[in-house]
Each structure stands twice: as structure tokens, then as C-alpha cells.
Amino acid sequence: MNRTRIITAAALTLVAAGWGGLLFAGPINPPAGPVASTYKTLTEAEPRTAINLTTTPGDADSLFKITQRGSYYLTGNITGVAGRHGIEIVASGVTLDLMGFDLSGIPGMGAFDGVSATVNSLTDITIRNGSVRNWGDEGVDLGSNFADNSAVIDVRASGNIGNGITISTGCTITGCTAFGNIGNGISTSNGCTITGCAAPFNSGMGISIGGGCTITGCSAYLNNGSGISTGSGCTITGCSAYSNFGDGISANSTTTISNCTARINTLDGIRVFSDCLILANMCSANGNGGDGAGIHATGSDNRIEGNNCTDNDRGIDVDVAGNFIIKNTCSGNTINWTIAANNVVGPILDRTAPASAAISGNSAPDSTGSTHPNANFSY
Amino acid sequence: MNRTRIITAAALTLTAAGLLLAGPLTPPAGPVTSTYKTLTEVEPRIAINLTNTPGDANSLFKITQPGSYYLTGNITGVAGRHGVEIAASGVTLDLMGFDLSGIPGMGAFDGVSATANSLINITVRNGSVRAWGDDGVDLGSNFVENSAVIDVRASGNAGSGITTDDGCTISGCSAFQNSGSGISASTGCTISNSTAYDNTDNGISAGDGCTITGCTANSNTGNGISSGGGSTITGCSASFNTGSGISASFGSTISNCTVRANALDGIVVTSQCLVLANTCSGNGNGGDGAGIHATGADNRIEGNNCINADRGIDVDVAGNIIIKNTCSGNTFNWSIAIGNSFGPIVVAGTNAAVVNTNGAVAGNLGSTDPNTNFSY
């Protein structure tokens, strides 16, 4: 009988310990259904691959190297070493979350990048959320080896010897800032989208894009080159180019530039080659410390419409024949209109002395001096 | 028999308990390797606490090294101290959705403050900063460049809600009832998708060469949106501000915006601006204001609709051009100084009969001049 009681007590103790384990570990009542694990492993809690010497060892020219597709993240800052990239990517289908950490190069390290795609023609690479500065070449380089269909998001790039951020074809750059880079702030290839970025104080251009790109809501300030420079077939909307030492906005051909502001740039406010639409922009005080027009077309087949150009060396400057210039206004330029022969130009009316009476009411006679729907005005 | 049954029962109990506690019993295929991450790998960033980031005489917490940091809880202010002080470049601070809250009488100290001169590459994101003795987030007073403030709510601070220096981005932020400006940015910044409501100074105050897109400024005691020269303001709304709705300096573009019921002007510009395709209604509300007011020269005012203000379009000096605008219901639809160029200002006709047809109907605008401005 005692033996029975002891064994029973032991069994009961075991049962109680089991229940106690359940109390420490979770609900007492097991979930319905077959017995299964109720917890996540740490890998399930953070399934991405941490960048470290075990998972992503570097090689002769990199501190860390990603060789397999997947999702990766930093677990700390990276300090550059001479002769090595910070993180080298050699696989497609990689997302690298910098987790807000700082990748910082060192002086004299050689032409190596903070983050670099080094194999030709990779695709689908995303770099996000961190700071890359003072590298011997680019901060983020997804362009030199044509990593197409990639993205750079929320990255601060500064003080790099090359460009701050370089991307290839069909990529997006969103919410990035590029400051004080020796190359361009942001540099893209063809077919890219750049949104909500700021590019100040770069030794090259602020934002340099290839053909067929879209730039919206960006600022380019005090760059040694042009503020924004594009290839052909681009759309530039709602951007500011202020106090750059080149042009404010410079476009090649077949580009739409609308609702932008270009002010106090050393050369032209907006400069285009051919086949562009320049619509509803404000260009003032360009040629500052240099020589420049508010809008300058160097080629033909441009449509220049509805712009206001004030206080430049020249208001609207068209070098060759074959352009269409309507509904613009110029004021206060050293020369308001400089237009080569054989362009199509709405009448240019000199309204610099309109002699209009003051108005306080509901009606007044015209003082534009023209009913022509396409008239340009000096005022 | 009883003994056997009891032991068997105990064994079965142990087995069941083991399955419930420890996870799968079947090992994964392949060589034996670790299947788990260290806690540092799960969360590699540095937690803000007294061990990692101790404060000093004027801060509760102080970041002195570049890296990525995150809050693990709310912060309550202490008199004489910033909440989180940043003294290094290359810092990302994730507020993790937590709340940094100051206390009354704490003195002129910030929720998040960059205190060393000329830092760069700082990001502050994802949290709320309120009721601090100075700014909620201050990346401007000591000239922090190339930085970002993302998804931050700033309210009730004795200074500005959010302050940045040159070349920064501010996106997805909101600033409410701060005693300074709601959002204040210096030169060459990009401000997007942000809201400023009921701040004691300007809602959004930007320096030269900025781009402001898709923002809302409502009920601020100063101007709704105020920018320096060479700025682009697109697709914004400014309503019920005690100052003007949008105020822009030399060489700026204001387009596709809506300004309503501001106490002063809906849109006021100095010189060399393009004011295009905006809607201005009910301005001068409780004060005196125009839908659009140009104080200087060389402005192009085009394609705007100005309604129910003290003045529809008000131009103070000579040397502007005013075309294709419409004004209605203003005390004075047009108030334009001598020496400006403008399309004819015509009182548009109205149709005497209802138009309900698929046929053609003669126009009644009263002018075919393409640059006509209309009163209606």
C-alpha cells in the first residue's frame, strides 16, 4: 500500500510538474487538435540572414559578400578597410536592410564602395534604411555592373569619392539624401523613378539620370554641376533647382519639364536640347555669377509654353530654328528674348510700360495689348 | 497491476508534457547545425537605455557613436535635460512607435536633439514627441545636414515640432499645437505628405530651394506654409490659418494648391513667382486678405480661381502679368496697381435659360481673348 501511494504521489508530482511547466510556459489548456509546437524559433522571429563573417564572409575585395538570393540585414556599423568594399552583392534577388546602421569608409582606402553589386547584370536588389559615407568610390553602387530592377530607399549618402547612390535600369530611388559626394549625388541609368529626394552640395551633379526616367518632388541645391541632369524621354515635375554652379535643370531630348523652379543657378535655369516640352516653370536670377538664360533651347522641336522667366541674363534663349514658343512671360532679364530665325513664336508684346490704370473693382480693359491666344509678353 | 498502470500513466504524462513544451521532435534533415539566432541577431540595433546610452548633465540619453538605435519604451522628460541627445553622425534613431513626453517647467530642452555642430546623416523615425520645453525633434539648431525625419508626430512642444537643416527630407510627419512652427526646414529640403495643424507660428516653414508636395497646413497662428526663394509648392492645402495660407519668396512656383478661409491672404508672394492653377476661397476670414496677393514685381499669376475674399487678386506694385484668372464674390474682385499687364477683365455673362441639350450653345463669357480674366 505504501509503495502504491509513493508511486502514485510520484506520478502525480510528475503530472503537476508538467502542468507547472505549462503554467510557466503558457496556457494550461492545450489547444484543440493534434499536439504541435506553440512557439516560434528565433529564426522564425527574425528570418532574415544577419550579415556577419559566418553567413556572408568577404573575400579579397570585400568585408562581407552576399552570394545567395534572400533577405539580409546588418547587425552593426561597418567601418571600411583599404582595398575592400563594405558589402559586395553577387546574386540577384537580394534585399539588404541596413537597419539604420552606418557604413563608413576610411581615408585612402582606394576606389571601393559601401555597398556594391559587382557581378554583371544582376536584378532585383533592394538597399534600404541606413547611412553610407566617406567611401573611396560610391556609397551605394548598383549601376556600374548594371543591377537592373532594383531600389534604394531611405538611404543617406554623403562624402563618398564617387557618386552617393548609383543605380541601373528600371530602378527606383525614394526618400534618399545625397550630400557632399565628390561625384554626383544620385546617378541613374534608364527607365528609373526618383521621388522625394534631396541632393545638395555634391561636386558633380545633384541628380543625374538616364533616359526615360521620372523625377518628382526632388530638390537639388548648391551642386558644382547641374542640379538635375537628364537623358532623353524623361519627365521632371515639381522639382526645385537652386543655386547650382551648372544649370538648374538640364535635359537632352524628348523630356517634359513642368511646374519646376530654377533659381540663382550659375548657368541656365532650364536647358534643353531638342523635342522637349517646357511648361509652366519659374526661372529666375539664373546666370548668377556666370552667364545663363531662364530657359535655353540649344536644338529644335522644343515647345516652350507658359513659363515665367525673370532677372536672368536672357529670359528665353533659343539657338536654332524649329521650335515653338508660346504664352511665355519674361521680365527683368538683361535681354528678355533671344530667338534664332525660323522658329514659331507667338507674338512677343512689349508690355514693360503697360500704362494701365489702377484697378479696384470687377472689370477693366485689357492691358496685355493682345488678344492673340499664343502671345508671349515682356512685362 | 496497479503499479504498472501508475508508472505507465506517469510516462505518458511526461511524454505529452515534453511535446507541448519543447517543439518538434523530428530533427531537420542534413548535418547538425544551429537552427536559431542569437538575440543580438534578432535585434541587432542598440537599445536606448542607461547602460548603452547614458545621458549627461543635459540629457536623459546620449548617443555618441554612429549606429542604429531604438527605443524600448516611452520617455518622460526631466527638468534641464533633453530626452535623447545625438552627438554623432551616421545615426538612425527608431522611436519604435513610443512616446517621448516632456514635463511642465522643464526648461528649453528638446525631445530629440542633435547637439554637436554640423553632424550629418541622421534619421529619426516612427514615434511621438510632445510637450518638450523646446523642439520636439531638433536637427536644425546645430546644422545637421543630409538627414531625415520620417513618420513622427510632434505636438505641444514649446519650440517647433520638427526642425531640420540643409538638404533634409521630412515625410509622413504631423505637427500639432507646437508653440513655434510645426515643421521648420532650412535650404534645399524636401517636405512631403506631412500635416501641420494649430501651431503657434507657421505650420510649415521652409528655407530657400525647397520642395513641398502634398502637405496640409490648417489653423496655424502664423502662415500655413511659408517658403524661401526658389521653392516649389505643389498640391498642398492651407486653411484657417491666422496668417496667410501660403507665403512664398522670390522665384517660387505655387501650383495646384487650395487655400481657404485664412485670416490674411490665401497666397502671398513677393517677386518673380509663378502662381498657377490654385483655388483660393474665403480668405481674409476674420482679418483682411486677398485670394492672391503679390507684393512685388515680375510675378505671373495665371489660371487661378479666387472667391469670397476681401480682394480676389491684389497686386501692389507694377511689373506683374495677370492672365486667365477667375474671381467671384470678393469684396473687390481685382485690385491691381498701375503699370501691370493683364488680360482683359470681363464680367462674364450668365445664361438666362437652362441649358439642356446635345446641340451647340453660344458662349456667354463676353470675351474670346485667350488671356481674359473673368469676374463671375
Q: Where are the domains of chain A?
A: 47-160, 205-379
Say if the Cβ atoms of A310 and B370 lie within 8 Å. Answer: no
Say if the Cβ atoms of A356 and B234 lie within 8 Å. Answer: no
Q: State whether the Cα torsion A205-A207-A213-A215 is positive or negative.
A: negative
Q: What is the pLDDT of residue B164?
A: 96
Rounded Cα distance, A209 and B47, in Å: 39
Q: What is the pLDDT of residue A1?
A: 43
Q: What is the pLDDT of residue A13?
A: 53
The cell for B80 is: 534641464
The cell for B8 is: 505507465
Residue A18 has pLDDT above 80, yes or no: no
Q: What is the pLDDT of residue A45?
A: 79
Q: Identify which of A10, A222, A361 has the shortest CB distance to residue B10.
A: A10
| Mean pLDDT score, A52-66 | 97
Give the pLDDT band (50/70/90) at residue B6. low
Question: Which residue is associated with the grid cell 496667410?
Answer: B244
Decide which of B308 and B9 is more confident: B308
The cell for B328 is: 467671384
Residue B204 has pLDDT above 50, yes or no: yes
| Angstroms from A169 CA to nearest CA on chain B | 25
Say if the Cβ atoms of A102 and B188 lie within 8 Å. Answer: no
Query: Mean pLDDT, chain B, as a whole number?
Result: 90
| Angstroms from B189 CA to nearest CA on chain A | 6
Instruction: Give contacts of A 210-239 with B, CB under 8 A.
Output: 216-222, 237-239
Contact A183, A190 (CB under 8 A): no
| Angstroms from A15 CA to nearest CA on chain B | 6
- Closest by CA position to B328, among listed A363, A254, A337, A275: A363
The cell for B345 is: 477683365
Among the residue ranges B21-30, B280-289, B302-311, the one predicted with the least confidence is B21-30
Say if the Cβ atoms of B166 and A200 lie within 8 Å. Answer: yes
Say if the Cβ atoms of A154 and B339 lie within 8 Å. Answer: no
| Mean pLDDT score, B124-129 | 93
Q: What is the pLDDT of residue A19?
A: 47
Instruction: Label each residue of A218-243 as H, E or C.
Output: CEEECCCCCCEECCCCCEEECCEEEC
Give residues with Cβ within 8 angstroms of A190, minimum separation 6: A169, A170, A210, A211, A212, A213, A231
- Closest by CA position to B160, among listed B146, B147, B173: B173
Decide which of B196 and B38 is more confident: B196
The cell for A81 is: 578597410
Question: Which residue is associated with the grid cell 530592377?
Answer: A149
Instruction: Give contacts of A 144-203 with B, CB under 8 A.
Output: 154, 156-159, 175-180, 196-201
Using a CB-CB cut-off of 8 Å, the residues of chain A touching B150 are 154, 175
Task: Put residue A272 in one of left, alpha, beta given phi > 0 → left and psi -120 to 50 → alpha.
Answer: beta
Decide which of A37 and A339 is more confident: A339
Say if the Cβ atoms of B21 and A218 lie within 8 Å. Answer: no
Q: What's the alpha-carbon Rg for chain A, to the nearest Å?
A: 31
Using a CB-CB cut-off of 8 Å, the residues of chain A touching B188 are 198, 200, 219-222, 240, 242
Q: What's the alpha-carbon Rg for chain B, to the nearest Å?
A: 30
Distances (CA, A) of A371 to A306, B326, B335: 16, 17, 22
Q: What is the C-alpha end-to-end distance of chain B, expressed in Å?
A: 105
Give residues with Cβ within 8 angstroms of B164, minimum separation 6: B139, B140, B144, B147, B149, B170, B184, B185, B186, B189
Q: What is the pLDDT of residue B183?
A: 97
Query: Mean pLDDT, chain A, as a whole number?
Result: 90
- Rounded to the nearest 5 degrees, what angle is found at the Cα of B53, between the Cα atoms of B48 and B59? 100
Q: Which residues pair with B293 in a beta bridge?
A: B268, B314
User: Three-state DSSP class for B180?
Assistant: coil
Task: Indicate the pairing of strand B253-255 with strand B195-197.
Answer: unpaired
Rounded Cα distance, B204 and B188, in Å: 14
Using a CB-CB cut-off of 8 Å, the residues of chain B touching A373 are 370-371
Using a CB-CB cut-off of 8 Å, the residues of chain B touching A37 are 23-24
Q: Encode pLDDT of A192-241 as tens digits.
A: 999 999 999 999 999 999 988 999 999 999 999 999 999 988 999 999 99
For a pLDDT cut of 70, what percent of chain A falls above it? 92
Say if the Cβ atoms of B345 and A364 lie within 8 Å. Answer: yes
- Closest by CA position to B264, among listed B208, B220, B296, B232: B220
Q: Identify which of A21, A38, A196 has the shortest CB distance to residue B190.
A: A196
Rounded Cα distance, A318 and A276, in Å: 13
Say if the Cβ atoms of B251 and A358 lie within 8 Å. Answer: no
Contact A211, A229 (CB under 8 A): no
* Inter-helix orientation angle A2-25/B2-22, to 10°: 10
Q: Which fold has domain A205-379?
A: Pectate Lyase C-like (2.160.20)
Rounded Cα distance, A52 and A330, in Å: 60
Q: Identify which of A104, A242, A360 has the shortest CB distance to residue B208.
A: A242
Q: What is the pLDDT of residue B26?
A: 74
Phi, psi of A8 (to 5 degrees): -60, -40
| Mean pLDDT score, B348-367 | 78
| Angstroms from B13 CA to nearest CA on chain A | 6
Inter-residue long-range contacts of B308-312, CB under 8 Å, 24+ positions, other chains counted: B308/B281, B308/B282, B309/B265, B309/B266, B309/B280, B309/B281, B309/B282, B309/B283, B309/B284, B310/B283, B310/B284, B311/B284, B311/B335, B312/B280, B312/B375
| Mean pLDDT score, B325-354 | 89
For a pLDDT cut of 70, what percent of chain B falls above it? 92
| Angstroms from A121 CA to nearest CA on chain B | 30
The cell for A130 is: 541606413
Using a CB-CB cut-off of 8 Å, the residues of chain A touching B296 are none
Q: What is the pLDDT of residue B271?
A: 97
Say if the Cβ atoms of B44 and A73 lie within 8 Å. Answer: yes
Q: Identify which of B69, B190, B318 has the shortest CB distance to residue A217.
A: B190
Q: What is the pLDDT of residue A26?
A: 58
Give residues with Cβ within 8 angstroms of B300, minimum separation 6: A282, A308, A329, B273, B274, B275, B276, B320, B321, B323
Q: Identify which of B89, B122, B344 has the shortest CB distance to residue A365.
A: B344
Decide which of B6 and A357 is more confident: A357
Nearest CA in chain B to A180: B146
User: CB-side exposure of A299: number of CA atoms within 13 Å?
Assistant: 15
| Angstroms from B46 CA to nearest CA on chain A | 9
Rounded Cα distance, A24 and A142, in Å: 50
Residue A131 has pLDDT above 90, yes or no: yes
Phi, psi of A156 (to 5 degrees): -100, 120
The cell for A204 is: 558633380
Say if the Cβ atoms of B345 and A363 lie within 8 Å. Answer: yes
The cell for B94 is: 527608431
Specify the amino acid at residue A25.
A
Q: What is the pLDDT of residue B8?
A: 58
Q: State whether the Cα torsion B281-B286-B290-B295 is positive or negative.
A: negative
| Mean pLDDT score, B200-223 | 95
Q: What is the pLDDT of residue B370?
A: 87
Q: What is the pLDDT of residue A20?
A: 44
Residue A21 has pLDDT above 50, yes or no: no
Q: What is the pLDDT of residue B67?
A: 96
Q: Identify which of A179, A262, A377 has the shortest CB distance to residue B120.
A: A179
Specify the amino acid at residue B163.
T
Say if the Cβ atoms of A379 and B340 lie within 8 Å. Answer: yes
| Mean pLDDT score, B76-96 | 96
Rounded Cα distance, B365 and B27, in Å: 84
Say if the Cβ atoms of B230 and A240 lie within 8 Å. Answer: yes
- Using the CB atoms, write b or e for A1-22: b if 16+ within 10 Å: eeeeeebbeebeebbeebeeeb
| Angstroms from A299 CA to nearest CA on chain B | 26
Residue B101 has pLDDT above 80, yes or no: yes
Residue A17 has pLDDT above 60, yes or no: no
Count other C-beta atoms under 10 Å from residue B179's C-beta.
Answer: 17
Rounded Cα distance, A30 and A18, in Å: 12
